Amino acid sequence: MELSDRFRAFARGLFWITTAAIAGMLLLVVFVAVMPDMAKTAFVENAPKTLNVLTEPSIGTVYALLASGCVAMVLQVFVLWNMRALFGIYAQGFALSARCGTHIARIGAGAIAIPFGWIFYDVMSSYLLTRNNPVGEGQISLGISGSSLGLMVGGGMLLLVGAAMMEAAKQAEENRSFV
């Protein structure tokens, strides 16, 4: 199936937007690694309001927070990378192919996994930010939101759509070989 020039131009724009998003996320990690003192305030200010942070986090805690946050970030970069690849295929004018199906399925799998990365970060950050509180004042928080559940369901749908597209492309190729 050949795509219109307008659709291909839109896909090129999305390709560059996802490229910039990936670069921005990686630059953020470098920034935190290079300037942990500035990041320390951001980690405390962005902690859940119900979290009782009584002591200032150490530089080691900032790096531990960064490492635990990178789990979710790696999953997000995985999804963005596959979106970028899919937009690149669309920009070339191809829409219905096994390659598209593969990337759609990977995006779906990543979307299912991302909320688990968020949960891991929430647990780790609550522990890390309150572990130096006085005895009995430490906290662990665990929660899942409706948007996380929605992302997982949407990811499941994309996983199935991608698998169906890969199967359809395989069947179409088999049909072409008989003709």
Kindly provide the residue ranges of all beta strands, DSSP E only, lying in the chain, ordered along the sequence: none
The pLDDT assigned to 6 comes to 93
Q: Which residues contact 117 (CB under 8 A, 6 or more apart)?
A: 71, 72, 73, 74, 75, 76
pTM, whole model, 2 decimals?
A: 0.86
The pLDDT assigned to 179 comes to 63
Average pLDDT estimate for 26-49 = 82
Q: Which residues contact 80 (CB under 8 A, 6 or more apart)?
A: 18, 21, 22, 25
- The label of the residue with tokens 């359809």 reads 168
How many Cβ atoms are within 10 Å of 105's Cβ, its own excluded?
21
3-state SS class at 94? strand
Task: Identify the weakest region by mean pLDDT among 21-25, 75-79, 170-174.
Answer: 170-174
Structure tokens at 109: 């799998």
Q: How confident is the model at residue 83 (pLDDT cuts 50, 70, 90)?
A: very high
Give the model confidence (pLDDT) of 132-150 as tens digits.
888 888 888 888 888 889 9
The pLDDT assigned to 76 comes to 97
DSSP 3-state helix, strand, coil percentages of the chain (rounded to 5)?
Answer: 80, 0, 20
Q: How far apart are CA 142 and CA 126, in angstroms?
A: 9
Domain boundaries of the chain, sorted by first residue: 5-178
The pLDDT assigned to 176 comes to 81
- 170 pLDDT higher than 70: yes
Q: How far apart are CA 115 and CA 156, in angstroms?
A: 13
